Amino acid sequence: MSTPKPTPQKAPQMPADTTDAATDAAAQFVARYQAESPAREAWRMFRRNIPALVGTAMLLLIIGLTLYGTLIYTGDPFDIVWAPHEAPFVEPDFPLGTDYLGRDLMAGLLSGGGPTLAVGAAAAALTMIIGISMGALSGFYGGWVDNLLMRITEFFQVLPALLFAMVLVTLFSPSLITIAIAIGVVSWPQTARLTRAEFLKIKELEYVTAARAIGAGNGRIMWRVILPNALPPLIVSATLTIGVAILFEAGLSFLGLGDPNVMSWGLMIGANRDYILDAWWPVTFPGLAIFFTVFSVSLIGDGLNDAFNPKLRER
Amino acid sequence: MSNSYILKRVAYGLILMLCVVVLNFLLIRLAPGDPAVVIAGEMGGATEEMLEQIREEYGLNKPILTQLAIYIGNVATGDLGESFFFNKPVAELISQRIGPTILLVIVAQILSIFLGVFLGVLAARKPNGVMSAFVSVFATIGYAVPVFWTGIMLIILFASVLPIFPVEGMQSVRLRDAPWYVQTIDVAHHLVLPAFTLAVIYLAQYARLSRASMLEVLGSDYIRTARAKGASERTVLFHHALRNAALPILTVAGLQFGNLISGALLVETVFNWPGMGRLAFDSILRRDYPTIMGVLFFASAMVVVANLLTDLSYRLADPRLRGRT
Amino acid sequence: MSALLQIENLQVTFNTRHGQVTALDSVSLSVNAGETLGVVGESGCGKSITALSVMGLIPMPPGRIAGGSIKLNGEELVGASDARLRGLRGSEVAMIFQEPMTSLNPVFSIGDQIAEAIMLHQNVSYDQAFKDAVALLDRVGIPSPDRRARDYPHQLSGGMRQRVMIAMAVSCRPKVLIADEPTTALDVTVQAQIFDLLNEIQRDFGAAIMLITHDMGAISEMADRVAVMYAGRVIEEASADQVLDTPQHPYARGLIDCIPALGKQETELREIPGVVPPLHMLGQGCAFKARCAHARPRCGTEKPLLRSHGAHPVACHGAEEGWL
C-alpha cells in the first residue's frame, strides 16, 4: 500500500521568508566552500545537543558499571547472602537490600546489565543485517524480487513479535544466543521497509547513474555507492532498535524465558513480582536500570536524528 | 469503495493466515526431537499410548506434504488440536480467552489514540510552548519504560497507597451473580489499570506523531483558505487540519496493532487478566505446543483483521485513494 | 466620500533571526466599490503582506501591525477583535490565492467547502448551503455543477480549482475581493478565462477587487488604478493608463519595459538588473538605488516620499527634481 504524501506546501510568501532564503543560500554556498564532510557536520551538531550528550554519558556510565562493576563489587548474584527482603540503604554491605530469597540486589543489578546489553546489541545487529539485506535487495532490484521480499516482510509484520519470539525461544531452548536470534528474527521488518524506501530514493540520483556509467556492477553500486548514502537514517534506526531489543530481552526474561543460568534485569523483576506488595525495591531498581539504559539510547538516537536532519529540528 | 477491492484485501488476508498455519507446522517440525513428543509437551509426561494417538491424528507417519495437508485441513475445520495440559480442545480454550484480550487491546488502542492525538494537537498549536516540550519528553520516556514494569509500579501504587482500582483479574468474585450492568461496571473498573498501562507507551508515540503531522498540515495553503473563510480556530484545528493530519496517524495505528498485542501479553500476565496473553504464558511454561500455536494463529488473525480495517478506513478517510484498486 | 477600503500609513514588522524588519512601510491604498486596484511588484515587495493584513491573517508572532489603519466601510480593522475579524473574513472581505492546487482541502468535497463558507456567515441549513454552492459552481462556469459539487479537489484541473476558489470567495457577496496572483499557476489560455470571470463577477456583484500581480499584462486587462510596490513601500500610484503609458519611477518603467511588445522584433527579453534587496539590508535612502541607472548621491541618503510632481504620485528624487 502506498501512502500518499501530500505535495510540499508553500508557506505564504512574505519578505521574512525571502530574506531567510537569500541568507540560507549564502550559508550553503559558504558551507560548500569549507567542504565539511556530512559526518563531521553531524558530529558537530551532535556535540552541541545537550540531551544527546547526557544520554551518551549515561550510557557510557551504565556500560562501564556492568563491565567493571563486578570486578570491584564481587559476589555471585544467585548466592543467598542475607535475610530476605532487607530494605535498601540500611545495611552497608548490601546497599540496595536483598530480594525474596535474600540475594544481594546490588550484585544482581551490576551483573545483570551485561547480558541485557549484550543480547540487546547482538539482536539489534542481527535485526539490521537482515533488515538491510532484505530492504536493499527489494529496493534495488524492484520487480518480482521486491514483490516477493515485501510479501515476506508483510507476513512477518502480521506475527505479534513478542509472542513469536517466545515460541522460538521455547522451541530451541533459552540461551543468550537463541534469545538474541529470536529477537532479531522478529524485529527486522521495519528496518527492511526503511532501507527499501532509502534505496528506492537514492538509486534514481545522478551519482548512481554516473557509477553505472563507469562500469560499476550491481553489487558495488548497492553496497559501495547506495548504502553509504542511506546510512544516516539507518544509523538512527539502529540506535532505536538497540533500545527496543533491550526492552524485548527484558520482557522475555521477565516472563521466565531468559537464560535461567544468567542473572538479568528482566529476570530480577520476574522473580520478585509475586512479592511486590511486601517489598517494592527488588522490582524497582532493575526496572529503573532498564529504563535509564533505554532512555539514554533513545536520547542518543534523537540526537543523531537531529544531527543528520538539521532542518527537522526547527519544527 | 469498490467491492472487488475489499474482496481482494480479504483474499490477501486469508493467504497470510494460510502462511501462519504453514509456519506453525514448520516450527513444530523444526523443533529438536520427535514431533509427537513436542506436541504432547515435555511437561505432559506423555505415555507411549498418547504419542501413538498423536501420530495417528496428525498423520506423522505419512509423507511431510500429506502431514501439512492434514494440518491445514484440521485448522480450516476449526480443529486446532488438543491441549494435553488443560485437557481441552485448543479452539475451546481460546474462545474463552479471546474476548478479554480484544476488550483490553481495543480499549487501550482507543485510549492511546484519542488522548495522544489530543495532546499532540494541543502541542502543535504552540510548537515552542510548554505543551510541546512536555510531549517530546513524555514520548521519549514512554518509549523507554518497560510496559510490565509500569504495570508493577501501578500495582504497588494502587494496591497499597491509593486503593481505588482493583489490581488483579477482570471480575470480582463477590459480584458473580449481580445484574449485568453492575458486572459491566465491575469489568470497566478492573480494566482501568491494565488498559492505561498498555495505552501509555503508545499514547506518547501518538502524541509525538500527531504533533509533527499537525504542524506540517497547519502550514499548508488550504488551512490559510479555511481561515480566510472566517472559520474559527477550533474549526480550523479539529475539522480542517485534523482530518488531514489523521492520515499518517491511521497508518501508524494499523502498524502498531501487532506491537499492542505483544504488549497485551505482558500486561495480562502482570494484572492476571484472563486473556490470550495469560494463556500463552501458561502454555509456554508448560510447553503446551498445540495451545501456543493456537494462540499464535489467533493473535496473527487479529493483526490481519486490524490491518484490513485500517486499510479500508484509510480509503474512506482519503478521497484521493477511493476508486483505486 | 471615503473609499470602501482605505489603508493609511500601514506599518507591518516581522521578527526574524536578523532582528526586526519592516515588511510594510507607511503603505496607503484605497479601493472603491466596483473598482479594481492593481498592486504590482516583484515577489517579496510586500504585496501579499498587504493582502494578508487586510484579511487579518498576518501570523502574529512573528508579525505585528506596528501602526496605521485599515478601514473597511469606515470600520477600523487594525486592533479589531478576533471574533469581529472572523465575522468579516469571507463575508465582507474574501481572498483568492495563488496556488489553486494546494489551496483546497483535499479531504472534503468542493461543494462541502463552499457550503461551509456560506454556513459560517449565513444562518442557513446545510442543504440550502449546498444548493447555493451548486448554483455558485454553475455561475463560475463549472459544467454539470450538481455532479461536480460532490467531487474532491484532486479530481479537478487547476483552472477548475481556481474557479472553485472564486465561487467560494464570492459565496457571501463580499464587498472587497482580494485576488493574490490568481492566475500565476495556470496556463495562459486559462488565465484569460479567469480574468473574464473576475470581470463578470465584479459586474454582477459590484465588488471592489484588489488584484495582486507581477504581471503587467494582467494589469492592463483588469485594473482601473495601479499601485506599484517596492521593498515594502508604494512607490507610484495612478490610473492604469497613466502608469502603463507614462510611468514615472525608474522601477515602474523597468517593469513596463519588461512586457514584450507585440509586433516588435526584439532580440532579447529585457529585465531589470539585480534583485530586490533583503529587507534587513535596506539601509538609508531609496531602496531601489542599487539597481537604478539614474541614482544620484541624494538617493543614498534620503528616503524619497510618495508625492505628486505634476503628473501623479511617485516616490523618486529624480522625478521630483526632473533629472530622470
**In chain B, which residues have their Cβ closer than 8 Å to the Cβ of A311?**
none
The residue range of the domain holding B47 is 3-76
Three cell numbers, residue B139 = 514520548
Of the candidate ranges A147-161, B257-271, B282-296, the one whose mean pLDDT is the lowest = B282-296
pLDDT tens-digit profile of C203-224?
A: 887 888 888 888 787 888 888 8
CA–CA gap between residue A257 and residue C177 (Å, rounded): 71
Indicate whether B85 belongs to any domain.
no
Region of poorest pLDDT, from A9-13, A98-102, C136-140, C254-258 = A9-13
Rounded average pLDDT over B283-310: 88
How far apart, in whole angstroms, are the C-alpha atoms of residue C126 and residue C103? 22
Structural domain total, chain A: 1
Query: Does any domain span residue A143?
Result: yes
Inter-chain CB proximity A19 and C278 less than 8 Å = yes
User: Total structural domains in chain B?
Assistant: 2
Same domain, B135 and B11: no
Residue B280 lies in a domain: yes
Domain annotation covers residue B281: yes
A310 vs C148, higher pLDDT = C148
Q: Is a pLDDT exceeding 70 seen at residue C72?
A: yes
Backbone φ and ψ for B185, nearest 5 degrees, come out as -60, -40
Q: Is the pLDDT of residue C242 over 80?
A: no
B11 and B143 part of one domain: no
Render B223-282 in DSSP notation, one character per residue: HHHHHHTT--HHHIIIIIIHHHHHHHHHHHHHHHHHHHHHHHHHHHHHHT--SHHHHHHH
ipTM of the prediction = 0.87
Q: Is residue A22 part of a domain?
A: no
Question: Are B122 and B11 found together in one domain?
Answer: no
**Contact C279/A20, CB-based, under 8 Å?**
no
Domain of residue A123, CATH code: 1.10.3720.10
Q: Is B31 within 8 Å of A290 when comparing Cβ atoms?
A: no
Q: Do B227 and C91 make contact, defined as CB atoms within 8 angstroms? A: no
pLDDT of A113 > 90? The answer is no
What 3-state class would DSSP assign to B210? helix
For residue C260, the tally of other CB atoms under 10 A from its CB is 11
Q: What is the pLDDT of residue A49?
A: 82
If asked whether residues B55 and B182 sit together in one domain, one would say no
The three cell numbers locating residue C245:
503609458
Residues B103, B29 within the same domain: no
Per-residue pLDDT tens for A246-274?
Answer: 999 999 999 888 888 888 899 889 888 88
Q: Is residue A97 part of a domain?
A: no
pLDDT of C8 over the 70 cut = yes
Q: What single letter denotes the amino acid at residue B147?
A: V
Q: Would you call C205 an interface residue with chain B, using a CB distance cutoff of 8 Å?
A: no
Q: Of the spans A81-90, A143-152, B176-185, which averages the highest pLDDT?
A: A143-152
> Quick check: C248 contacting A, CB < 8 Å?
no
Q: Do C208 and C35 contact (CB within 8 A), yes or no? A: yes
Poorest-pLDDT segment among B84-98, B162-176, B235-249: B162-176
pLDDT of residue B133: 86
Nearest CB to B296 within list A4, A167, A247: A167
Chain A interface residues facing chain C, Cβ-Cβ under 8 Å? 6-7, 9-10, 12-16, 18-20, 22-23
Which of A32-46, A49-63, B73-87, C76-90 is least confident? A32-46
Does pLDDT of C235 surpass 60? yes
Please check whether residue B83 lies inside any domain of the structure: no
Residue A127 lies in a domain: yes
Cell numbers at residue B314, please? 484509510
Question: Which domain covers residue A224, as residue numbers?
Answer: 41-73+106-313
Grid coordinates representing A309?
536532519
Predicted TM-score of the model (pTM): 0.81
Give yes or no for C44 touching A (CB within 8 A).
Answer: yes
